[in-house]
Structure 1
């Protein structure tokens, strides 16, 4: 199987689920080859690390081995419209995760410990998958990004080439000479449908209000980028492995 990755990552939880599924496939004796697209970083690299071979182009953005936490709270937004929330509890954590209040320091500490644990797990996954000493992985990590050629020099990528090259390599690993290729693409998500709906509606809304297309094009790009950024924050634990190159908050 050839897995094409074109992602800057996202939920650490989701990345691990996908990685485990790939490991199950390998247990059945099927070679797994990763072909990196324009970006295959952070959570995208988490998924790729255990592949039998990793292919990238020279200009691929990869690496970004790192973890961060994000739990948005809305106390300032509510205060701006005159809404306030208060209460008392037996402990700082009695109210649970109340997004209408700033995070208690004790809860921040718990989240930081979870981030540190996930980061250590990320380092170990890369060390085991790429056969690189964990200490060396730590030196390459901390969110640093690399182009494909540099990543190959560091052992994070095996070979440089196209998707077609990766497919040929997978066939070789499987010992197959005559084969057909089946391309499987995911269905459009609700997020994609929503963004497409917004993008489709903006030009007509702008035209009705006399707004020129260059202005609406910039607005569309900004709005789409911000919506994608907020829709990204969906990890159940609030912990993310995401390359921040394209993230706008």
Structure 2
């Protein structure tokens, strides 16, 4: 019996020792994995609580966007965010959406430096939000500018006559139903819309003049709706310099003391979705939204948008 007991005790001792080393091995693997994730960490998932430079990409047609507004508000009040870099690739959009983003970016700039980097395209409302930054950069071949406002409508009265359809509209005032796609625009209605467009255009010109420290008459001369290359925009003082992310970080380091060694953290440009929701929404946007409908047609109100016909 003594030999059996000794053998059982020895096996138990060896088992405990083996389990101990297994635990040590598992902990070592976990520690190594966490260490590798910490140092790689491309999205700054672990280091997000450290001081960092935030980057927000603003892509596509600009409209009312509560998510962007929320993220900009967070960046303004988060002490861990030492600077904000905006990467803009947009033809513009609604003047309201551009104005709201402009004001939100200026709010960030009250607390920390903001650099706007124009990518392939930053025109109309895209340029409007770019000038909200403390420093505006673009590549030589970027397209920017297109300072101006437009109002688009359609009129189908001749088509309705051909297919035998008529429409009746009862209004409380002569300008209530202007413009109306069922009848030609009246001279009074056209004049009223032209005044509204011109009023907003003057507002846009004055905004650019103030932010770029240019005389309003100089901006008015440049604001005939045309786009400018990055090189031409620099010559006309619509931007501050040529470059991209590296030049933005260099400017922050030289002029605002924001160390280039600080990690760069991307702010999600759209809300997270579930896997099925994300696949479904992307599929619908691709197959239906972008195939059948121009994004321009989904904008209401005054538009500051550049797009070649």
Q: Quick check: 1:8–1:44 contact (8 Å CA) kept in 2?
A: yes
Partner residue, 1:68: 150
Partner residue, 2:286: 196
Partner residue, 1:49: 131
Please list the CA deviations of residues 78-137 of structure 1 after superposition, one character each: whole Å capped at 9, or x if unmatched.
444332113565642355654433333322222111100110011101100000111111
Q: How far, CA to CA, are the matches of 2:223 and 2:237 in structure 1? A: 13
Which of 226, 236, 241 is equivalent to 2:304? 241
Q: Quick check: 2:178–2:185 contact (8 Å CA) kept in 1?
A: no
Query: Are residue 15 (structure 1) and residue 79 (structure 2) matched?
Result: no
SS in structure 1 of the partner of residue 264 of structure 2:
coil
Matches within 5 A, 1:78-97: 78-87=160-169, 91-95=173-177
Deviation, 1:160, is 0.6
Partner residue, 2:264: 181
Deviation, 1:48, is 1.2
Q: How far, CA to CA, are the matches of 1:160 and 1:103 in structure 2? A: 45
Q: Quick check: 1:50–1:130 contact (8 Å CA) kept in 2?
A: no
Partner residue, 2:196: 114
Q: Quick check: 1:13–1:235 contact (8 Å CA) kept in 2?
A: no
Normalised by the length of structure 1, the TM-score is 0.77
Matches within 5 A, 1:206-245: 224=291, 227-228=293-294, 231-237=295-301, 239-245=302-308
Q: How far, CA to CA, are the matches of 1:102 and 1:191 in structure 2? A: 38
Structure 2 residue runs of 5 or longer lacking an equivalent are: 1-83, 272-277
Bigger radius of gyration: 2
Q: How far, CA to CA, are the matches of 2:138 and 2:282 in structure 1? A: 26
Q: How far, CA to CA, are the matches of 2:284 and 2:142 in structure 1? A: 28
Partner residue, 1:217: none
Q: Which has the higher relative contact order, 1 or 2, with Cα contacts under 8 A spaced 6 or more apart? A: 1
Q: Quick check: 2:87–2:117 contact (8 Å CA) kept in 1?
A: yes
Q: Quick check: 1:33–1:54 contact (8 Å CA) kept in 2?
A: yes
Q: How far, CA to CA, are the matches of 1:194 and 1:46 in structure 2? A: 30
Q: How far, CA to CA, are the matches of 1:82 and 1:55 in structure 2? A: 55
Q: How far, CA to CA, are the matches of 2:170 and 2:288 in structure 1? A: 42
Normalised by the length of structure 2, the TM-score is 0.63
Q: How far, CA to CA, are the matches of 1:4 and 1:47 in structure 2? A: 11
Which of 124, 128, 138 is equivalent to 2:206? 124
Matches within 5 A, 1:144-159: 144-159=226-241
Please list the CA deviations of residues 197-231 of structure 1 after superposition, one character each: whole Å capped at 9, or x if unmatched.
249xxxxxxxxxxxxxxxxxxxxxxx74x733xx3
